[in-house]
Chain A
């Protein structure tokens, strides 16, 4: 296990859906990561496709920056359809 990189595992549960993060595991190389991901994360037909990404290749936003990054979106209610009132007479839009 020593020095084996950590891989993050993403599984597409069926065609038409996104790959979704399911967990992580250590492996000596990407092929082994796929093999082991198959064994631990798809034993009950949970997937049709696997992505493995070395964890240290992922750049994540800092939780301390959450306000700076995400607060500007909270007061822009005009970006949602419910902001606009429609006349009663209108049936569909």
Chain B
């Protein structure tokens, strides 16, 4: 063992499916990659609450409102699990929040699209959460223990998200012509951005190989995307809608659905900050942080006061 470098030992553990825990030795680049990836994931959960919260007050029934509230609340919790996992790598929560609020950190570009109708809430649950689940199920086996545990917890909560979305679309697709049109329109707008959620094609994703070697990632972007398409097409058929891709077709030889090329120019534009809602999303986060400041201050003041009370009681006694 002593002839091996620390790095060889580390890779050896990973190759044998051992998990890495917070205080174990790890290469700097492994730590940095994880901080970036997990915090981006955390930011995505938090910013992801915004497009949906847009419809909470306008949900068409109490049942839908309760389900949507519960889902959005879950996403807030997912943000917390992931921030906590990131903090185990030696970065503070304040620093992470600051990176988000100053626009230094990225979050999933899918949340920079607007939610124009109630059907969008259905499409988000079905497609966006569906794509997220595909990615997150694979990440339950990621090599970093705290991240893997957060993913397991998240996956347990996610499946209701996708179902409530699909249920919204299913109900509307049995409704009036106008409702059916709303469903089709929402799916037309959300389909391609959902496929982009898995990130660039494998050959255009140079850091993926190292992440796969470290087992931070367990499946490549293209593998995950293919799985998502294969799982989703039959669900679309049941809804009786058309996925907006003329090249989408089952390929007998491959045993998978073929699909058309993705507009990566659009993807990189949104990532660069030029999507339809980038500015609005960030402004909403900054505002929420600012108007919540007095609550944080009050809680700190209260905790201080309680502590002083205990100290003065002790000294009197």
Contact = CB atoms under 8 A, between A and B. Distances in A.
B186 to A, nearest CB: 28
A69 interface: no
Interface string A46-73: 0000000000000010110000000000
B289 to A, nearest CB: 10
B300 A4 contact: yes
- Interface class of chain B by DSSP: helix
B300 A63 contact: no
Interface of A: 1-4, 6, 22-26, 28-29, 32, 39-40, 43-44, 60, 62-63
B210 to A, nearest CB: 23
Given A25-B84, A63-B21, A63-B25, A2 B303 contact: no
Interface stretch (B73-81, B108-116, B174-182, B276-284): B73-81
8 contacts: A2-B94, A4-B296, A25-B84, A28-B296, A29-B299, A29-B302, A29-B303, A60-B23
Contacts of B84: 23-25
Interface string B4-17: 00000000000000
Contacts, number: 50
Interface residues of B, number: 26
B150 A28 contact: no
A43 B144 CA distance: 26
B36 interface: no
A26 B93 contact: yes
A43 B153 CA distance: 12
Given A26-B93, A28-B299, A63-B25, A6 B77 contact: no
Given A40-B80, A43-B73, A63-B21, A1 B94 contact: yes
A23 B150 contact: yes
B300 A28 contact: yes
